[in-house]
Amino acid sequence: MKMKFLATALFIAVWVCSFAQKTYKRIVSLAPSLTQSLYYLEAQNNLVGCTSYCEAAKKDRKPIVASAVKPNLEKIISLKPDLVVVAGLTDPKDIETLRKFGIRVEIFESPTSFAGICDQFVHLGLLVGQNEKALAIVEGSKRKISDITAKIKWKGTPKVFFQIGADPLFAVIPNTFMDDYIRFLGGENIAKDLTHGTVGREFVIAKNPDYIFIATMGIVGEEEKKIWSKYPNLNAARNNRIFIVDSDLACQPTPITFVQTMEVLQQKILGQ
């Protein structure tokens, strides 16, 4: 009886909060992943400004108010947004300036897990009045992850190097959402004991990964694949298990792109 009462109270609390939460109608996004999330939530009509790296918004001719690192505060303010969503790398001084003009600025720190991605997505959905849609997307994404992991069976635990970029070499490390790619696949991250991602080729060769995934774009990724393939004693090279993954997909923290990346990784693994 007590548990039933608590469950009912929780439902009522969530229901009340969903109605009490203000829905924002004029939004500026200073992060491509947040912009993409707004499109997944079908809230793109509320978007009045974006960065030069927000591809979907650029195609819709949304005003560009920022580069990758620097927002044009004057232009943002002129658009009269009631909400600006930013990533954790945005300069705190710029955030404070926007807040002085009475604009709500919501900071989305880089998520450290798939669960964190989902929590942020639901929070964004609440801000734009799409809470039910956000919850449905998250639940659907979790089911797809379960389906993917169920199809991958290992005799042992493969060692994985997930590379981001090439100059310098950067490894996916624990406490990042990209580490969950490796964890969900049932692999062992060769960088599991590192606290920073910069590594040398000697480190990777010594760890001798069974799989190498390279999250980068275009010719850089192809060059990196060629370099790793020249090491015949490397398990990943000897067994042709060096793969390129689109960084626009793998490095973008949304529930949908996370699932899409997992599907790509699954295809590459099972295609062997």
* pLDDT tens, residue by residue, 102-116: 999 999 999 999 999
The answer to whether 173 and 196 have CB atoms below 8 angstroms apart is: yes
| Cα 33 from Cα 86, distance rounded (Å) | 10
Chain centroid to Cα 254, Å, comes to: 5
pLDDT band (50, 70, 90) for residue 21: low
Please state which architecture CATH assigns to domain 153-270: 3-Layer(aba) Sandwich (3.40)
pTM of the model: 0.89
| Mean pLDDT for all residues in the chain | 90
- Provide mean pLDDT across the span 162-184: 94
Residues 203-223, mean pLDDT to the nearest whole number: 91
* Number of residues written out for the chain: 272
Looking at residue 16, what is its pLDDT?
43
Dist CA 74 CA 88 (whole Å): 21
**Do the domains 153-270 and 22-139 match in fold?**
yes
Upper half-sphere CA count for residue 174 (Cβ side, 13 Å): 9
CA-to-CA separations, 168 to 152, 171, 197, 207, 219, in angstroms, rounded = 32, 10, 10, 18, 16
Q: What is the mean pLDDT of residues 37-65?
A: 94
DSSP 6-28: HHHHHHHHHHHHHHHSPPPSSEE
CATH number of this structure's domain 22-139, picked from the four choices 3.20.10.10, 3.40.50.1980, 3.30.460.20, 3.40.50.920: 3.40.50.1980
Structural domain boundaries in the chain: 22-139, 153-270
Question: pLDDT band for position 272 (50/70/90)?
Answer: low
Give 225-251 pLDDT, tens digit per residue. Answer: 999 999 999 999 999 999 999 998 999
